[in-house]
Chains A and B, each alone.
Chain A
Amino acid sequence: MNNAAHLADRLDLALDRMLAVEPSAGAAADASNQIDDREVAALTAIAGELALLPRADFKERLALELDAAANTRRRSSDPRALAAAAEMLPTLFGGGMALPPVSRLNVAASLLVHTLGLAVLVGSTYYVAEHRGLPAGHMVDLVARELYPLPPAPVRPNGGGGGGSREKLDASHGALPQAAPEQITPPAVKVPNEAPKLEVAPTVILSAELQSPKLPVIGDPTSTPLLLSNGPGSSGGIGTGKNGGIGGGTDRGVGIGSKGGYGGGAYRVGQGGVSAPRPIYAPDPDYSEEARKVKHQGVVGLWLIVGPDGRPRDIRVQRSLGMGLDEKAVNAVRTWKFEPAKKDGVAVPVQITVEVSFRLY
């Protein structure tokens, strides 16, 4: 270790001792008197003087205090300032509070900003209150409607059929024809050929276990018109569908489905112990602006299938309300989530009707 480093260490040791006792000139003198090393003692005495210097920010802080006090005194001695101050709140500009002076321009800017902020707050609240759609109260009824008076199928029904001969009248009411595993002659209310060369009884593809009410004429059991008609469907059969069945489907069965059989692809609530689905997430529909303006109220009827996943699908409007409320109802119901219907503990698709009531309170 060279001499300079040694001296630096000895000096630091003496300074530590001095600062630990008390950072004052007296302590420095005492400390330096106890040091044999003259060099270190002289430097420690200077350090003792340094230890009494004010803190770095003290001078500036005191200057600010004095400046604030001076400004207060200046205002208090100025008659114009006194008159102005009398008109204002006593502490608005920090007078007499030993605070730095507050600029009038800053106060004015702050007042302006706060006023604008308050105006925006009040205005936006008023706007929202005026333009927000009133809460669309809704009441949902889950209604199981028996479209066809048929007992439940032992297996999941996923078939259906439909037909018609492009008539203007809806299909007429009547009984289902004979059920058969195969169809040779499609059912018809109006028989196009009264004297066929080879007469075969009309049938629909259904399980033989299925019973149909005994009615004198063949027709669509769900239809109400009594005037004989094959319905507006096509390709033979009865109803609004096509391909030789009865109903709105596309095959030779009965109902709105396809590939024979009956049912339209979903169970119905109550049949064969099928439980009703329960809505677990059903947000309110919005009210359409058009309907809200004229205070249009009522109920929209929707037909839909709730899948095993609890999601609605194939939503159709059964009872229209108009003025955009049908679309609002469909859009809302499309987001709903159900606890799915169950048969024997297994989630199954089920068709239901939902009524969405729009009311203005």
Chain B
Amino acid sequence: MRALVIPTDERLMIEAAQRDPSRFAALYEQNFDRVYGFIARRVRDRAVAEDITADVFHRALEHLGKYQWQGAPFSAWLLRIAANALTDHWRKTSREAVPTADELLDSAVADETESRAILAEMVAGLPEDQRRVILRRFVDQRSIKEIAAELGRSEGAIKQLQLRALENLRARMRSQHE
């Protein structure tokens, strides 16, 4: 489920975090999936995505005092930092054609980012046994045999759970687009 954040509330959260940096946790919790999804979609590597995500939130915390509320969502500021971090990353890794931060922040990209954040929420909403199989299979990258041994089920049963979980996610994504 997507969190419904009223801008005024978000502004209060930002101002609170500017006064007391320990309040930054609320902003982090609210925007993590979105920022991670934006980065992961572009680097196509989980480890690199995690490194850059960590860098983005540390930079945001460091420069939070300079942030000025102008009506735009806080996530836009975070994605701007993420786009800059991606550009820096690609320059360091000698990528031939490095897109600018503005190119990265076009509207289509933002939609994709949203869909990935929603996908993470959808996984969290799966039935417990399906969710465990999905996390073990794709996040921890375990084999069907290992998952079967861990959960005490047959390999056939795990394959069925895997199939049902993916079908479930596809159905939810379709209903989201409709």
Interface SS of chain A: helix, strand, loop or mixed? helix
> How near does chain A come to B130, taking the closest CB pair, in angstroms?
12
In chain B, what residue has the closest Cβ to A55? B139
Whether the Cβ atoms of B24 and A52 lie closer than 8 Å is no
Contact among A12, A26, A49 for B162, CB-based, below 8 A: A12
Known: A43-B166, A46-B169, A47-B138. A67 touches B119 (CB 8 A): no
Q: Of the listed stretches B5-13, B46-54, B81-89, name the one at the interface; the rest are far from the partner chain.
A: B46-54
Whether the Cβ atoms of A5 and B24 lie closer than 8 Å is no
> In the assembled complex, which residues on chain B have CB atoms less than 8 Å from the CB atom of A23?
46, 138, 141
> In the assembled complex, which residues on chain A have CB atoms less than 8 Å from the CB atom of B160?
4-5, 8
Whether the Cβ atoms of B173 and A63 lie closer than 8 Å is no
Contact among B24, B41, B167, B173 for A25, CB-based, below 8 A: B41
List residues of A (1-38) whose CB comes within 8 Å of B's CBs: 4-5, 7-9, 11-12, 15-16, 19, 22-27
**Number of interchain pairs (Cβ within 8 Å):** 125
Contact among A15, A27, A62 for B137, CB-based, below 8 A: A15
> In the assembled complex, which residues on chain B have CB atoms less than 8 Å from the CB atom of A70?
21-25, 61
A42–B173 Cα distance when bound, in Å, is 12
A22–B48 Cα distance when bound, in Å, is 13
A51–B22 Cα distance when bound, in Å, is 32
A42–B61 Cα distance when bound, in Å, is 39
Whether the Cβ atoms of B139 and A65 lie closer than 8 Å is no
In chain A, what residue has the closest Cβ to B44? A24
List residues of A (123-154) whose CB comes within 8 Å of B's CBs: none
> In the assembled complex, which residues on chain A have CB atoms less than 8 Å from the CB atom of B156?
5, 8
A8–B137 Cα distance when bound, in Å, is 14
> How near does chain A come to B60, taking the closest CB pair, in angstroms?
9
Q: Chain A CB within 10 Å — which of B45, B62, B156, B166 has the most?
A: B166
Q: Of the listed stretches B28-36, B68-76, B93-101, B103-111, name the one at the interface; the rest are far from the partner chain.
A: B28-36
Contact among A52, A59, A67, A69 for B41, CB-based, below 8 A: A52
A contact set with B: CB distance below 8 Å: 4-5, 7-9, 11-12, 15-16, 19, 22-27, 42-43, 46-47, 49-56, 58-59, 62-63, 65-67, 69-71, 73-74, 77
B contact set with A: CB distance below 8 Å: 20-25, 28-29, 32, 36, 40-41, 44-46, 49-50, 53-54, 57-58, 61-62, 116, 119-120, 123, 134-135, 137-141, 143-144, 156, 159-160, 162-163, 166-167, 169-170, 173
